[in-house]
Structure formats: C-alpha cells, structure tokens
Chains A and B, each alone.
Chain A
Amino acid sequence: MNRRRFFTFGAGSVAAAALGACDSFGPKSATSLLRYAERKNERLERWLFNTGSRNDFGKGARLSGRAFPRYFVSKTIPMWNEAERGMWRLEVGGAVRQPLSLTLDDLMKMRSVSQRVDHFCVEGWTARAEWTGVRVSELARAAGATSDAQYVDFQSFDSDYHESWDIDSALHPQTLVAYGMDRAMLGPGHGAPARVHSPVKLGYKNTKYLTRILFMPTRAGGYWSDRGYEWYGGV
C-alpha cells in the first residue's frame, strides 16, 4: 500500500507540475540544456547544408503579390532620408581586400539574378515572390573576401536591426541582395532600397533596409538571434 501511495502521489505531482507548466516558458534551469541542444543542432545543420540545394517552384505558380507581409522593427516604415543622410550606399567591408561603397545604380549595373522562391517565415507561413538582385557571392568576389571571412553581418537602417550569417549560407547561389520584387523596384514595406533575400534562411535572418555587408572571422549575433530565436535559422 505504501508503494501504491508513493506512486499515486508521484504521478499526481508530475501531473500537477505538467499542468502548472502549461503556457509557461519552462524551468529556468533548462535554459543551458536548450542552448546546448541549439549548438548541437547548429553543428548538424551546418554539416547538412548543401550549396547545391535549391528552392524552386514552377513558372505557373501564383505569387503572393500584395499578400506578402510587410515587416520592420521600427515604429514607422523605415525610409532612407537623402536630405539627412545623403545618398544611400551599400558598404561592403570587413575581411575583404577591396571595400566597396555602392550606390543603387552601381548595384543595378552588376550581374543580376531573378528568382522565384519561397520566403519561409519563422512563424510558419510562406510567401512567394520573384526577387531581382545581385548574389552575395558576387559581391564577395567583387570585394575580394579573404579566408578570414567565415561569417557575414547584414546591417540595416531599420533601428538596430542586423543578422549575422555563416559564410556558406551567405554564398549560396540563391542568397541575393535584392532591389527588385515581382518585377518592380523593392517597396518601402519590403526593405527598399535593398534587402537580403534567400530561401536558405528563415525570414528574420533576411535583413531588410540593408546598409552594410560586413565579412568577419567571428559571428555577430543578430536582432532576433539575441532575443531567443536560433542564430542559425537555416531552412
């Protein structure tokens, strides 16, 4: 009977703990375990990452068009104010032989790519658009990224928004600095004048309102990565 009472009591306690844990963040002591799992998952994901992987859908598939959500972290839509800040330029620097400072015209004169790909949001939805822009790998080549460039930080003028990437994902052929969306110039709700877009990373890794691409030997976290979302965020 004692044993039975022990088990009854034990099962009751476990059930109570489980119910009490509902809608909670879970025990604080689990944080280090979750971090450990994330590090191990990242190692696996980077090992799985295949530069030959492609996201593609047929020409006939419908694009999301106006249903493509707009998103930014500032209180209002970030707009580049030329009167205050001068002409917008994309800086490419860090571990490179030849830092670049590109106007939108400069960018548009580079070899461009148009691709219809999915946008994978961390929330679980996807949207489809046709993106036009320059491959990050093209920019890395133009700037002469060195072997120190193991990570890339994509910085923006949307408050302090930025996200750093592993170099392999950044150099994936479907990772673009996009200035066009659905055959029009990128709109202010989608990151104008230029943004990062890639199907190999979750949406929050794709910095909008891009100002700077910094090649680095170490990672630099990111806006959402520093707030609890996975740093790797690979798809």
Chain B
Amino acid sequence: MTSSQSEPSLGSPANALSPAAGPAVSGATTEQHVHPRHHWVVRLTHWVNVVALGLMITSGLRIFNAYPAFARRGETFCCYPFAGKPIPAALTFGGWLAGARNWHFAAMWLLFVNGVIYVAFIYLHGEWRDLVPRRGDPRDMWEMVKFYLFARRNHPHQGKHNALQKSAYFSMPILGALAVLTGIAIWKPVQFAPLTNALGGYVWARYWHFLVMLGLVLLSVVHVVMVFAVDPYSLRSMITGGYDESKSPEARNARPFFWRRPRPAPRSEGGLGT
C-alpha cells in the first residue's frame, strides 16, 4: 500500500532530513505550508449560517414548545415518543410563542439568502468539486471509519476533505433545502396545499420539518466536536482562510482525540521514488 509507505517512522528519510529541530526553524518551515483554503465568501456564509441556523433552531424549538407533540386533535401519532414533553427552555429563544415566531419568520430570510449565496458561489467558483460525491466515496468512508477505530494504521489519503467530511458537508445544504421546503409546507398548508399533501399532510410535514432540524443539529454537533477533536488547526482556515497543510490530520495521522504532533513535511513529494 502506498499509504503505508508514506507513514512516518523514526527511521524514515523525512525525519532524517529534517533540520536539527529548533522551534524557530520548524515554525518557519510550517508557515511555508500555509495555503489559502477557504474563500472569503465561504468563510462569511459559514459564520452567517452559524447565526442563522442558531436562531432558526432555538426559535423553532420555542414554537414547538407551544404544542410539543404532533398528533392532530382527537388522533394519535405513531412516531414521536416524547409527546407532551417540552424542550428545555435553555435551548429555546424568543421568550414566548409570538416572539419566537417573529424571530423565526425574520431569520428564515437570513438562512435562505445565505444558503442561496453559498450554493451559487460554490457552484460558480468550483468548490462544489471538493464536496460532490464520487464513486469511491463509500469505500473511502469505510476506510476512514476503520482508521478512526484503530482498525487501520494510516490515515487514508484524501483531497481537501476526507470522505466522511465530504458526505457531511454535501448533506448540509441538502438538509437546508429540505428545511425550507418542509417549512413552506407548514407555513402555508392551504396556499401550497399540493406541497403539504405531497409531504403527507400538515401533521407529517411538521414532523419532517422537526426531523430535518434534528439532522442539522446532529451534523452541526458532530462537525464542531470533530473540529476540536481531530483538526483544531482548521479553525484558522475558516477565520483567516489560511490552512497549514503540514498540520492536516493526514499529515499528523490524527484520529479523534488522538493527535500526533505535526511533523516536518518531506522536502519534495517525489522523495520516496528517488
């Protein structure tokens, strides 16, 4: 396997060639590996999305608390075991139903416009290529899982993102679009009756809206945990745009909560062949 050959060990040429490791020197060499990673439009829409999603989810949970169930009056609903139990107030925003609705129906435009700008930008600017699923992705995802579970020694080779990240970042705008669609269906169940009916009626559309929200929460929580657990250096790339390739999880062979110190990168990529 080529990936095992690139795995560093104490006796590898990369380490042997590294300078006698003064911190200042290695600092200078890593700075050379900082490359622009995220365009400012991507960074801006990312952080606007944090605000918009945060407002939408917390105000939506406050709206949900006015009737924390799904069943139509006089009927039962199969698929929600927590009916009647409100969401903890600390997770909600808006203060009361009307306040939360006002926030929800204002912030929805922030979420929608921001999402449209993001998707249009990555489509026109080419970033979509780093996210769009490819045929080898399921296998690569499996390899990542194996690596994370210590069933594989070496970090699989990856492009800008690993296969698990790709699937998460590709799902995010899709879930966002579904949130908008199911949201329209419960906002205007009479004006858009065909849409609401296609989703199974108002009660089910409200349920799908809730599930899509849960999916967005799940993705976001995993995303934030993984940023700090595997690649905290990527935080910089989402703020200033610069990313130090020599500190990438692949370069460090890092698993969640198991970081390796960044190692000096090989001088040239052809080093092994020569």
The chain A residues found within 8 Å of chain B, CB to CB, are 3, 7, 18, 21-26, 30, 33-34, 37-38, 41, 45, 48-50, 53-57, 62-69, 118, 120-128, 199-200, 224, 227-230, 234-235
Contact = CB atoms under 8 A, between A and B. Distances in A.
A68 B66 contact: no
Contacts, number: 121
Contacts of A64: 72-75
Nearest to B98: A228
12 contacts: A22-B58, A22-B92, A23-B90, A25-B99, A33-B106, A34-B106, A54-B190, A56-B193, A66-B74, A128-B72, A128-B73, A228-B102
Nearest to A48: B191
A234 B91 CA distance: 28
A56 B197 CA distance: 10
Given A124-B66, A234-B188, 8 more contacts: A25-B96, A41-B105, A118-B189, A200-B191, A224-B98, A228-B98, A235-B188, A235-B189
Interface string B58-98: 10000110110100111100000000000001111111111
B8 to A, nearest CB: 27
B202 A23 contact: no
A71 to B, nearest CB: 12
Q: Which one of B54, B58, B69 has the greatest number of beta carbons of chain A within 10 Å?
A: B58
Contact of A121 (B67, B96, B109): B67
A18 B64 CA distance: 20
Given A25-B95, A37-B106, A235-B188, A63 B74 contact: yes
Contacts of A118: 189, 202
Contact of A38 (B69, B93, B105): B105
A49 B191 contact: yes
Contact of A120 (B54, B106, B189, B239): B189
Contacts of B97: 122-123, 229
Counting from the closest, the 10 A-B pairs by CB-CB distance are A67-B74, A25-B95, A37-B106, A228-B98, A64-B74, A127-B73, A123-B66, A124-B67, A64-B73, A23-B89
Contacts of B39: none
Given A22-B90, A23-B90, A123-B67, A34 B102 contact: yes
A64 B188 CA distance: 21
Q: Name which of A22, A23, A118, A128 has the most chain B CB atoms within 10 A of its CB.
A: A23
B103 interface: yes
A127 B90 contact: no
B46 interface: no
A127 B74 contact: yes
A12 to B, nearest CB: 13
B30 to A, nearest CB: 15
Given A21-B93, A23-B89, A125-B69, A50 B106 contact: no
Contacts of B206: 124
A26 B93 contact: yes
Contact of B92 (A7, A23, A33, A122): A23
Given A24-B95, A33-B106, A126 B101 contact: no
B119 interface: no
Contacts of B193: 53-56
Q: Which of B54, B58, B72, B93 counts the most A-chain CB atoms under 10 A from its CB?
A: B72
A22 B92 CA distance: 6
Contacts of B67: 121, 123-125
A120 B201 CA distance: 12
B190 A37 contact: no
B203 interface: yes
Given A18-B54, A126-B202, A227-B98, A37 B105 contact: yes
Interface string B11-30: 00000000000000000000
A199 B190 contact: yes
Contacts of A200: 190-191
Given A22-B93, A23-B93, A55 B189 contact: yes
Contacts of A3: 240
B94 A25 contact: yes
B217 to A, nearest CB: 15
Contacts of B54: 18
Interface in B43-61: 54, 58
Nearest to B103: A26
B188 A48 contact: yes
A41 B187 CA distance: 11
A136 to B, nearest CB: 16
A230 B73 contact: no
Contacts of A54: 190, 193
Contacts of B98: 224, 227-230
A65 B193 CA distance: 24
